[in-house]
Chain A
């Protein structure tokens, strides 16, 4: 079967660092994507890990451990505008390589 787990809510303050964890189980696996979605908006692509290790993009970093079926998104120097939902989306193997979407993590950044 397939499963995906990430915390439902995370709260942090401006300037802090927050880590959103993601564990998954899929029938085959090729990589882990992360998306951000503000209330009322559409998801936007943040990061992708196809290999183990850390990918850094500005204030955001994403990590993947394929052997542990685990990844995380690290957000540094938090800003109010980072308040949003964050989705980890593993991509199972297969001809169409579609992503699996869970409920996401709602991040609230407080002053």
Chain B
């Protein structure tokens, strides 16, 4: 069964350092989402791609966060510099076409900023 892959699974870093997360969606899925989830809360959409284009990054803190999906397949989310408040689970999801109702999530990257 096809799955969304993410790496690393866990990341510990010090504040002011740069971190990067990688996501490989299910093959053929045009839409890719990056979410941030703080413990006890629901996922918060950071950025949504349709193929290689950003369709929504309204909640992405653009002064420190960046995301790319250069060839419309895998994607990288970067934080530079990391802050203590960035400690959270970073989830990647994909869906076929524009159908957002069924999203397939990867295992996530748990980030701890010290």
A99 near B100 with CB under 8 A, answer yes
A96 to B51, CA, bound (A): 12
Is A27 part of the contact surface with B, judged by Cβ < 8 Å? no
Type the 1/0 row for B102-114, where 1 means its CB is closer than 8 Å to any CB of A. 1111111000000
A98 to B44, CA, bound (A): 11
Q: Is the interface of A mostly helix, strand, loop or mixed?
A: loop
Interface centre among A42, A87, A96, A97 (most CB of B within 10 A): A42
B91 near A96 with CB under 8 A, answer no
Number of interface residues of B (CB under 8 A): 24
Q: Chain B residues near A89: list those with CB within 8 A.
A: 101
A31 to B41, CA, bound (A): 22
Is A48 part of the contact surface with B, judged by Cβ < 8 Å? yes
Q: Chain A residues near B91: list those with CB within 8 A.
A: 42-43
Is A19 part of the contact surface with B, judged by Cβ < 8 Å? no
Is B87 part of the contact surface with A, judged by Cβ < 8 Å? no
Q: Chain A residues near B108: list those with CB within 8 A.
A: 42
Q: Chain B residues near A44: list those with CB within 8 A.
A: 105
A45-B104 contact given A95-B55, A101-B42, A102-B42, CB 8 Å threshold: yes
A68 to B104, CA, bound (A): 28
B interface with A by C-beta (< 8 Å): 33, 40-45, 48, 50, 55-56, 91, 93, 98-108
A interface with B by C-beta (< 8 Å): 30-31, 33, 41-45, 48, 50, 87, 89, 91, 95-99, 101-104
